[in-house]
Amino acid sequence: MRIAVIGGDGTGPEVVAEGLKVLQSAAEKVGFEYTTQDFDVSGDRYLAAGGDPNAASIPIISDEEIAELATFDAIYLGAVGHPDVAPGILEKGLLLKARFELDQYINLRPVTLYPGVETPLAGKRSEDIDFVVVRENTEGLYTGMGGVQYKGTPNEVATQIMCNTRMGAERAIRYAMDLCMRRDDKKQITLVGKTNVLTYAHDLWFRAFMEIGEEYPELTKDYNHVDACCMWFVKNPEYYDTIVVCNMFGDIITDLGAMIQGGMGIAAGGNINPQGVSMFEPIGGSAPKYTGKNVINPLAAICAMGMMLDTLGEEQAAKAVEQAVITLCNSKLKNLGAGRMGYSTTEVGDLVVAGL
Ligand code: IPM
Ligand code: MG
């Protein structure tokens, strides 16, 4: 396999280094071969090249680099976000650009509470929190459609269009239903939306969900409004098996999901193009205040590496990585928070390798 590596900003390169250590060990153990290639794409590079910190003035990642990334088997990404660059510039210019240009139309975010990991939900145990969120990843409120008129005047008008296509909804729903069929759970697929207010956008989603659902008679089809879903994540997360959701609501509920599974230190995600090149990343950000201190938790990045191996067909290696993480969480690690693990970033990576 050929793997493109983008360490990115802040703690991104530190956690990616631990994920790569685990990859090397897994490859030796299971017996597959791979090469990696680093892509220096980051806020630092943007600023060093003379990029304007307040407006996107030069590309964060060039079209040539995107075209090159498309030739790899997978992309491993650390983090995006720089304290000296205004919000939106790096996110749009790197993360969203890669998702859109490489048509990574699924954002796959498992919410699993591993045994021994503390959850803020009182009385909930590992067996209660184990579901997966399939977030649509290329449409909705993320397309950048819309605009501003009369900016800076009392008459200013800003619109941000929520773009929903039948094709986009359909391929996310099908992916989620196929995944739900493969999961060892209660075969329940929940569409999360807001049909009571988004009477055009989520009516399209709801009809698509019901129509496609007929092709999956074994699945229980279920619908939740997004506000109720937030309530249930906290009150009875054991209710969920597989969720399919639009881009913006998926962004929000998966941060809540990350918290109930033990925090950003453990939450991983995959930006998946089932027909193309996918990109794997920890859900957490670049954590500037922890950068360079060797205290950030690399487990989310290591779990993202596990997802990458699974997607590339190395299921045995993926399972071994996950098991090593579970064992570590359930034995030595005190806490999953940065600086509170009882070990440094590099030591946690070494412990996972030792576990493998
Ligand atoms: C995520 C992040 C991104 C998103 C940001 C950084 C643009 O929050 O991956 O969930 O909103 O998708
Ligand atoms: Mg998010």
Closest ligand to the CA of 81: 1
pLDDT in tens, 146-199: 999 999 999 999 999 999 999 999 999 999 999 999 999 999 999 999 999 999
Among all ligands shown, which has an atom nearest to the Cα of 96? 1
Residue 154 exposure: Cα atoms within 13 Å on the Cβ side: 0
Whether the pLDDT of residue 334 is over 90: the answer is no
Q: Which residue is it, tokens 């509170």?
A: 340
* CA–centroid distance, residue 256 to ligand 2 (Å): 10
Q: pLDDT > 70: what percent of the chain?
A: 100
> pLDDT tens-digit profile of 215-235?
999 999 999 999 999 999 999
Mean pLDDT, residues 59-74: 97
Per-residue pLDDT tens over the stretch 286-333? 999 999 999 999 999 999 999 999 999 999 999 999 999 999 999 999
Q: CA-to-CA distance for 218 and 17, rounded, in angstroms?
A: 42
Task: Assign residue 353 a region (left: φ > 0; alpha: ψ between -120 and 50; beta: otherwise).
Answer: alpha
- Residue 117 confidence (pLDDT): 95
Average pLDDT of the chain, as a whole number: 97
- Going from the Cα of 155 to the center of ligand 2, the distance in angstroms, rounded, reads 31
Nearest to 286 by CA among 1, 5, 8, 2: 8
C-alpha 212 to ligand 1 mean position (Å):
28
- Give dist(CA 207, CA 209) in Å, integer: 5
| Residue 85 dihedral angles phi and psi, to the nearest 5° | -115, 130
Res 279 pLDDT > 90: yes
